[in-house]
Amino acid sequence: MNALLVLLSLLVCGAVLFIAPSAAPPALMLCVVVSIPIIIMLARPSPERVFLLRLFVAGLLIRIVVGTIIYSWNLQDFFGGDANTYDFFGYSLTKAWHGDTYHEAIYQTFIRSGAGAWGMLYLVGGVYELIGRNMLAIQFINAAFGAVTPCIIYYSAQHLFGNLRVSRLAALLTAFFPSLVLWSSQALKDGLIVLALALSIFATLQLVSKVSIRYVIVLTMCLLALLSLRFYIFYMMAVAVVGAFIIGVKSLSAQSFFSRFLAIAAMGLALTWFGVLRYASSQFERYGNLQAVQRSRVDAATTAGSGFGKDVDVRTTEGALTAVPIGLLYLLFAPFPWQLASLRQSIAVPEMVVWWLCFPLLILGFWFAIKHRLREVSPILLFTTMLTLAYSLFQGNVGTAYRQRSQLLVFYFIFVAVGAILVKENAETRERQRKLAKQELAETQAARTLARRKSTEPSTSHPALRES
């Protein structure tokens, strides 16, 4: 298996160099630079390091292949037009750093629009400053981030349930589910957001168990990343973290309370020092009302052919509550077969069939987790519930709902894996019971046959035998 992965790596890198000879060398170099620290961390002695290393390499290779196809065939507008937006404004940012007033004005226009993705522009600008304008490099960096996310999901699932089969299945689904591969293969912020979310939840789980400076730093950096990429997710994750610290603690002794209070205070001070509270409050004042949500819904529903709920008005509490059920239905299950009006929507059909089949397992996994692991899974439950309801409220476009579902899928897959393993273990139990019953029946029949044979054999105490 290791030799096969090495061979595939050489073949993929050679093909990328052949297809994109000018952009590929620096892009692959940056991908290697980003991947080396990940490989070092995954290679630490552990029972599952071989599995995780193979998973990371395989996930990275498939994302490099998909990213190269999108880049070489100029499919950015087809799969995600935001990649061109980040490329354009990120390039303007690099020009502004060198005193170009025209490009500085362009960048400031993007910031004033309230798009809320300035963190992605800084990533793009930093890479372009280092190696020049190269969208393929951004794609390969995202590929590395997308490939390590399944490993984080593995560790989170293992922490929650302590079952290798659950952890492996959740990681495999995250690594190779088509939409997760697609969004982390492009120059989009989705891969970064999913990675920050997975790391935030994992760090929170660790801090609930035991406070450590390392995970306080990790969680703080992830929260900053979320704020720079999609600010409203920052609020939801912050609430989930605080809720986890309240619900998830086994025993609230004076020492544990003090240590967790210090951890929250340290994160709060760090976020304040970075100006997070001022930035977040301004964004909340601008977008944290139902009028802004209504504008977002109408814009999404009317600017694309896949819009839905165009007549829904969420500017009142009653209207918002009415919009949630249909929004939830589209967020979780769209696109539906009757909505396949374009090639882009038709491509998603095989994945959607798999997801629809997985949904009963998700419900079963949620039921088991709530019944047996409620305290442990509280961070994930709080965050996914809030984000699911938020997207159900202000999403009005099938394509956007399909894309933003990826931020939930990585956590849903943990519970899908739980449900799948429960079904499998129940089936294995029934099979063992069937085999055991069959073995017991065979032993009983053999004992009866032996008893009958003994009863028909001549007895050595018979008088005739004694006389002879």
Note every long-range contact of 362-369, with CB atoms under 8 Å and residues 24 or more positions apart, other chains counting: 362/412, 362/415, 362/416, 362/419, 363/419, 364/418, 364/419, 364/422, 364/423, 365/414, 365/415, 365/416, 365/417, 365/418, 365/419, 365/420, 365/422, 366/415, 368/418, 368/419, 368/422, 369/160, 369/415, 369/418
Which amino acid belongs to residue 317? T
Choice between 321 and 204, residue whose per-residue pLDDT is larger:
204
Q: What is the pLDDT of residue 250?
A: 66
Cis bond upstream, residue 25 (ω within 30): no
pLDDT band at 468 (very low <50, low <70, confident <90, very high): very low
pLDDT at 464 over 60: no
Q: According to DSSP H, which parts of 162-189 are helical?
A: 164-176, 178-183
Segment 300-307 mean pLDDT? 62
Q: What SS3 state is found at 250?
A: coil
Choice between 54 and 209, residue whose per-residue pLDDT is larger:
54
Percentage of the chain modeled with pLDDT above 70: 87
pTM of the entire structure? 0.90
Is residue 397 within 8 A of residue 331, CB to CB? The reply is no
**Which one of 117-131, 237-251, 346-360 scores highest in mean pLDDT?**
117-131
pLDDT at 150 over 70: yes
Q: What is the pLDDT of residue 425?
A: 93
Which two structure tokens, joined as six digits, stand for 364? 């079963």
pLDDT band at 46 (very low <50, low <70, confident <90, very high): confident
Percentage of the chain modeled with pLDDT above 90: 55
| Crossing angle (nearest 10°) for helices 101-112 and 118-131 | 150
- As a whole number of angstroms, the distance between CA 358 and CA 352 comes to 10
Identify each DSSP E strand in 305-352 by its residue range.
none
- As a whole number of angstroms, the distance between CA 261 and CA 241 comes to 12
Choice between 33 and 112, residue whose per-residue pLDDT is larger:
33
Burial class (CB in 10 A: 0-12, 13-18, 19+), 215: buried
In the chain, what is the straight-line distance between the N-terminal and C-terminal CA atoms, in Å?
A: 76
Is residue 447 within 8 A of residue 398, CB to CB? The reply is no
Nearest residue to 13 via CA among 33, 2, 28 = 28
Burial class (CB in 10 A: 0-12, 13-18, 19+), 452: exposed
pLDDT band at 305 (very low <50, low <70, confident <90, very high): low
pLDDT at 161 over 70: yes
- As a whole number of angstroms, the distance between CA 135 and CA 32 comes to 16
Segment 151-164 mean pLDDT? 96
Segment 348-357 mean pLDDT? 90
pLDDT band at 126 (very low <50, low <70, confident <90, very high): very high
Which range has the worst mean pLDDT, 115-129, 205-219, 265-279, 432-446? 265-279
Segment 138-142 mean pLDDT? 97
Mean pLDDT of the chain: 87
Which two structure tokens, joined as six digits, stand for 325? 């059920």
For 307, phi and psi rounded to 5 degrees? -70, 155
- As a whole number of angstroms, the distance between CA 379 and CA 202 comes to 9
Q: What is the pLDDT of residue 465?
A: 43
Which two structure tokens, joined as six digits, stand for 217? 């730093």
Domain ranges of the chain: 2-79+134-423
Which range has the worst mean pLDDT, 55-64, 181-190, 375-384, 388-397? 388-397
Is residue 236 within 8 A of residue 387, CB to CB? The reply is yes
pLDDT at 293 over 50: yes
- As a whole number of angstroms, the distance between CA 405 and CA 379 comes to 18
- As a whole number of angstroms, the distance between CA 29 and CA 37 comes to 14
Q: What SS3 state is found at 285?
A: helix
- As a whole number of angstroms, the distance between CA 93 and CA 416 comes to 42
- Angle at the Cα of 456 from the Cα atoms of 453 and 460, rounded to 5 degrees: 110
pLDDT band at 90 (very low <50, low <70, confident <90, very high): very high
pLDDT tens-digit map of 224-241? 999 899 888 888 898 899
pLDDT tens-digit map of 428-457? 999 999 999 999 888 888 888 888 887 776
Segment 187-214 mean pLDDT? 93
pLDDT tens-digit map of 243-286? 888 886 666 666 667 777 788 888 888 877 777 767 766 766 66
The length of the chain is 468
Is residue 152 within 8 A of residue 166, CB to CB? The reply is no
